[in-house]
Amino acid sequence: MSSNTVKRILSSLSIFIILAFSFYLGRWAVLSLLALIMILIMDEIFRNFLKKKRLSFNYIFSQLSILIPFILLFFFQIDFKFDIYGFFVHWGLLNNIFLLIYLFLVPMNDLTLIERAKKRPFLLGLFYLPFLVCFGTILNFEMWERYLLALFVINYSMDTGGWFFGRKFGKHKLWPAVSPKKTVEGLIGGILTSACFGSLFWNYYIHPVNLYFFITFAIFAFLSQMGDLVQSKLKRQFGIKDSSRMIPGHGGLYDRADSVIFLAPFFVAALRYIKGYYIA
């Protein structure tokens, strides 16, 4: 085994232990961990994507515009007379639709958005806020551990399945301009792996599944891969490879979390709006 592989395995193991320990401690620990991860991701974006200093208005405003609403919503349980979580879920979906449009319609060499983001980075906090709230929303469900794990299973099986099938059968490049290593075979294999493991997990730990669940999980897997591609495109346009070197062998936190962040609003929307998904 190369030293990089050892590093990767050790890093994965530590991440798993941190996650498991916070799950064991309960809802508040997981909420705090999520908030911490979001702070670190924002830090990566500001330091490495935008090359900004920590002690600046933009940085502090962005961090606070995520943290304060999150704390008010989940730690102080502020009362709203309207469906506040629905508002954030829709906001997250809108952000995702925007990102998808950006992925498919904006040419690779069009850096208008990148320049805008560099000019007014204080808005980035508000862009990432709904994603964090979507994660918090999952933790409001009575069976939050299972739903959160289901989200991770779907996401992780997509990555792993994609990697495995891509290496074994990969012939046709998916989109070399955005992500040179991804193949069509990897995408299809990943989707199938993810739908299978997602269905199995759901079936044993949440609710008996049928074909509709399988199809939905396949769509989730596809969307998670799209999230990956969006971030690949953005990283390429920013001219960086990894978001940071925080996790040895893996790169940055954002590299690990990008697709699951993208998937979260879709997942919560399914829990809220598709009949039979959420079990009281």
Asked if 268 touches other proteins (CB under 8 A), the answer is yes
Asked if 278 touches other proteins (CB under 8 A), the answer is yes
- ∠ Cα 192 196 199 (to 5°): 135
- Cα 140 from chain centroid (whole Å): 18
User: For residue 243, which of 226, 264, 228 has the smallest C-alpha distance?
Assistant: 228
Does residue 108 contact residue 233 with C-beta atoms inside 8 Å? yes
Asked if 272 touches other proteins (CB under 8 A), the answer is yes
CB closer to other proteins out of 141 and 214:
141
Q: From the list 142, 176, 177, 215, which residue makes contact with other proteins (rule: CB under 8 A)?
A: 142
Asked if 71 touches other proteins (CB under 8 A), the answer is no
Q: Is residue 183 helix, strand or coil? A: strand
Nearest-approach distance from CB 268 to other proteins, in angstroms = 7
Asked if 78 touches other proteins (CB under 8 A), the answer is no
Q: From the list 137, 193, 244, 259, which residue makes contact with other proteins (rule: CB under 8 A)?
A: 137
Residue 130 burial (CB count, 10 A):
23
CA dist 41 and 255 (Å) reads: 9
CB closer to other proteins out of 117 and 133:
133
Q: What are 182's two structure tokens?
A: 């991804």
Interacting residues with other proteins (CB under 8 A):
77, 83, 85-86, 89, 137, 140-142, 268, 271-272, 278, 280
